[in-house]
């Protein structure tokens, strides 16, 4: 039974909707760089090498997360693999695609005067984006949603699009291509910390549940002999430990970078102060200082 389940899990299955989505992203990216970019920023580099690398990595990870075999194992056998899939779609692919987006392209999309652009600007505000992201995180772990997504492929695909879209909004104030729409560095660190709190609720629910939470994953045969309770406990641990650790690692990196920049600024100001103090005064500066001070007060002599 276990051997048959393992063999069935690795049986190739084509997912044309995934390839259509990935193809659309690649097509839009290529069209933007080759057609729109030269018109938007004539005579300037359209994209950097780092942006190209981030785009390629983001597309590759999206394909891995949404296609065979990870998608099939996550949908049919193990909820813990489903959790890995969601973490990739939420915490890895969106940041890479945002880092890949050139500033000129973001300005064309976000900062024009259309109604869609105004809605997008509102949706990428930290409070709005954070609420939407966490609401989707809680919704996608609701029992009815999970069971329906396992039994309905179109619904499952829609849930993934919802998770991906809410994650794009959540990451935009942190590392979006438009600096004026980003928060300050301390604000980013606090924001990422807050994003790590709400997912602990469903994570704890999965970890400490003593009975199967999702009936769609309570079936035989079990893939690789992993029991349903062990599977959902692993899913909770992945959501809390891996997801939380990833965000806290980003917070730590930003903290040390911010501290280093502040130290550099302080050192530059201190060095500038030393240079000003050690520089000899010129005659013109001395005369100007006397003029600012004015004439000294006349001392009165008693009896006059």
- In tens, the pLDDT along 88-105 reads 999 999 999 999 999 999
In the chain, the largest separation of any two C-alpha atoms, in whole Å, equals 121
pLDDT at position 300 is: 57
Count Cα atoms within 13 angstroms, Cβ side, for 278.
6
* Lookup: tokens for 249: 């690692």
- Phi, psi angles (nearest 5°) of residue 69: -95, -10
pLDDT at position 277 is: 61
pLDDT tens, position by position, for the chain (304 residues)? 555 555 566 788 888 989 999 999 999 999 999 999 999 999 899 999 999 999 999 999 999 999 999 989 998 899 999 999 999 999 999 999 999 999 999 988 876 677 878 888 899 999 999 999 999 999 999 999 999 998 888 898 899 999 999 999 999 999 999 888 899 999 999 999 999 998 888 888 888 888 999 999 998 888 888 999 999 999 999 998 889 899 999 999 999 988 888 888 777 777 776 666 666 667 776 667 667 766 555 655 555 5
Residue labelled with tokens 């309770």: 229
pLDDT at position 51 is: 96
Using a 10 angstrom Cβ sphere, with 0-12 exposed, 13-18 middle and 19 or more buried, the burial of residue 201 is: middle
Comparing CA positions, the residue from 194, 173, 186 lying closest to residue 254 is 186
pLDDT at position 251 is: 94
* Lookup: tokens for 90: 């939420």
Contact by Cβ (8 Å): 100, 51 = yes
Residue labelled with tokens 């606090």: 190
Sign of torsion over alpha carbons 53, 60, 124, 36: positive
Q: d(Cα 55, Cα 15) in Å, to the nearest integer?
A: 22
Sign of torsion over alpha carbons 48, 49, 50, 51: positive
- Phi, psi angles (nearest 5°) of residue 36: -75, -45
Contact by Cβ (8 Å): 32, 177 = no
Give the three-state DSSP class for 226: coil
Q: d(Cα 63, Cα 271) in Å, to the nearest integer?
A: 51
The residues spanned by each domain of the chain are 8-267
* Lookup: tokens for 195: 């994003």
Q: What is the DSSP string of 126-185?
A: HHHHHHHHHHHHHHTTSHHHHHHHHH-HHHHHHHHHHHHHHHHHHHHHHH-S-GGGSPPH
pLDDT at position 268 is: 76
pLDDT at position 136 is: 94
């Amino acid at each position: 039974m276990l051997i048959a389940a393992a063999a069935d899990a690795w049986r190739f299955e084509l997912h044309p909707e995934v390839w259509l989505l990935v193809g659309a992203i690649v097509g839009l990216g290529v069209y933007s760089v080759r057609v729109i970019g030269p018109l938007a920023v004539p005579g300037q580099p359209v994209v950097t090498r780092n942006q190209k690398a981030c785009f390629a990595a983001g597309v590759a990870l999206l394909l891995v997360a949404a296609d065979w075999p990870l998608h099939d194992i996550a949908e049919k056998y193990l909820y813990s693999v489903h959790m890995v899939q969601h973490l990739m779609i939420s915490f890895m692919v969106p940041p890479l695609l945002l880092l890949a987006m050139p500033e000129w392209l973001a300005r064309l999309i976000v900062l024009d005067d259309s109604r869609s652009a105004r809605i997008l600007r509102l949706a990428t505000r930290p409070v709005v984006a954070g609420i939407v992201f966490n609401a989707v995180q809680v919704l996608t772990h609701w029992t009815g949603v999970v069971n329906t997504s396992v039994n309905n492929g179109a619904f499952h695909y829609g849930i993934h699009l919802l998770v991906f879209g809410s994650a794009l909004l959540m990451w935009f104030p942190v590392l979006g291509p438009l600096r004026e729409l980003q928060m300050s560095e301390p604000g980013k660190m606090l924001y990422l910390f807050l994003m790590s709190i709400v997912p602990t609720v469903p994570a704890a629910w999965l970890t400490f549940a003593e009975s199967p939470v999702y009936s769609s994953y309570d079936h035989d045969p079990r893939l690789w002999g992993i029991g349903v309770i062990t599977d959902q406990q692993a899913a909770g641990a992945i959501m809390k430990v891996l997801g939380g650790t990833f965000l806290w690692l980003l917070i730590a990196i930003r903290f040390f970078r911010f501290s280093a920049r502040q130290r550099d600024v302080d050192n530059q100001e201190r060095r500038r102060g030393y240079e000003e103090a050690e520089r000899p005064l010129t005659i013109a500066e001395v005369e100007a200082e006397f003029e600012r001070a004015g004439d000294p007060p006349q001392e009165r002599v008693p009896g006059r």
